[in-house]
Amino acid sequence: MPNYSLGFAALRDAYARGTLTPAQVVHDVHAEIPRHAANPIWIHVLPREAALAQAQAVETRRAAGANLPLYGVPFAVKDNIDVADVPTTAACPAYAYTPAASAHAVQRLLEAGAILIGKTNLDQFATGLVGARSPYGACRNAVNAEYISGGSSSGSAVAVALGLVSFALGTDTAGSGRVPAGFNNVVGLKPTPGIVSTRGVVPACRSLDCVSVFALTCEDASAVLASVRGFDAGDIYARSDSAPTVPLGRTFRCGVPRSAQREFFGDALAREAFELALEKLKLAGATLIDIDFAPFIEVARLLYNGPWVAERYAAIREFFEAHPTDIHPVTRQVIANAQKWNAADTFDAFYRLRELKRRCDDIWRDIDVLAVPTSGTIYTLAQVEAAPLQTNTNLGYYTNFVNLLDYCALAVPSVFRADGLPAGVTLIARAHQDTAMAELGARLHRAAAMPLGATGFALPAAAPSATPTASDEILLAVVGAHLSGLPLNHQLTSRGARLVEATQTAADYKLYALPYAEPPKPGLVRVAMGGAPIVVEVWALTLAALGAFMAEIPPPLGIGTLTLADGRKVKGFLCEAYAVAGARDITALGGWRAYLAQQNRA
């Protein structure tokens, strides 16, 4: 990635200061792409000259006074979405065609001043949640290359996570815009069906397909949605986008599946991560309400164990019959199941869906938003290769029902598992609540204080807030191995400490990876200049518990007074200056978790 963040706010500031130009961003992105050549992220990268021509054109338009809300923002497009004069393959070379016009959504982005870098890899014909069903190769996870990227919008999510583009378009029928977001620690926005045109998109299930957005932050994803949403008379599934959004207050009712209905497929780390994410939802204002998840599960099963698979066959029927050997074997096997459903079966399924939707919609009387794990587990590439159908089915447990029920959804980075892999939460809301959901997603993202994708850059600090504590509690900021899910966190939880918030320090600190520490630990040092905000978690514990905790802290670490980003002062870990001589300076990564993620990728 370039040595600067491609987040919208960072680019906007750099352009305003004159320290960057769109042309320089294009140059830097093109220089970075070859460094990731071993990961098949791209199917087609536009020539540097073509991208530079776009940059020069938007600079000229800006100088002429044009309103360009996405001025100079580089983006990518999943290769089942048309770009004029660039082949569309849907990850099937024999299917390729070259469209004369761009998809409606792509054209709107170009008009808004965004710069297209290229087209990304996917599960063939957008059929899969694994990112491994492509003749161009299986995309690898941006955090740990042994694991899948998720699909079908695999390349789009990985390109954003690695800082190669600021955002990317994907598509989402069964979770393809959410699962890859969760696996790669980025935001995945799946809008209300029909509010973004799918004209110019190779259909998967045409009645359910949505164009989705991958971005580094919820605010960035919302900005993209604002540019692409709107009624398109050329799309037969387009709908009016005039329904009012119901804003959520500082507190809100958040439905979660009952504990017995939460499925993690034997993955204890995924279960622990979701429990921690629920605590962070509480920090964002949630009152958790257990709901009956059974009707949602049954709807999810209808998508592939029902006649909707025939819609995938209908989308490519002529090609499927004429070119069976050109289709990925697993994709062919999935779509071939269409032949066992008849018209009567289809109507029966429609009737059952209506019954289940009534039951699901009734639940919204008691909740404002539904929160589920973005995925119940994650698999290695080897595990998917050994059991391609079952692993894919498992990944759809929390995703397959959303479009069938006409809801919107937002995958938000929430925690890192104990093994260093990201594990996100998906927020689900009723149709047309996209804006309110994105605002809530931003609150959760900041409460979690996650780094931006796999870039190592930190999420901007939260706004100042009051931190409630009991009268006998002390606030303690932790920065390293005591963070949630890391090896020494038990030293807090075993003494009854509770997580209050995730935030950042003031920009007066440097963070170092201490050599020879076991388990690995960082050292936080206050400096007069050259510091940066560092991600911390603030825990509350009694004075007696703090005393016992401090007795376990070995030199050169100690407890001092830290200043947080909003100016509050709390107790927290500091390191004696002598110990960081010769230690690796990891300040630029913004936090210890980002450093661990980088080590896992190495």
**What amino acid positions are annotated as catalytic residues?**
78, 152, 176
Asked if residue 98 lies in contact with residue 87, where contact means CB atoms within 8 angstroms, the answer is yes
List the one residue out of 215, 455, 264 whose CA is nearest residue 378: 264
Q: Report the distance separating Cα 24 and Cα 4, nearest Å.
A: 12
Look-up of token digits 């998840």: 293
Cβ proximity of 123 and 134 under 8 Å? yes
- Distance CA(466)–CA(440), nearest Å, equals 18
State how far the Cα of 2 lies from the Cα of 154, in Å rounded to an integer.
Answer: 21
Cβ neighbours for 155, distance < 8 A, ≥ 6 positions apart = 40, 41, 42, 43, 76, 78, 79, 120, 121, 122, 139, 149, 168
The residue with tokens 């460094």 is: 35
- Tokens representing 15 are 């352009």
SS3 content of the chain, % helix, strand, coil (to 5): 35, 20, 45
**CA 455 to CA 185: how far, in whole Å?**
10
DSSP reduced 3-state for 267: coil
* CA proximity to 105, closest of 127, 73, 77: 77
- Nearest alpha-carbon partner for 228 in 363, 77, 84: 77
Across the strands, what pairs with 538?
477, 501
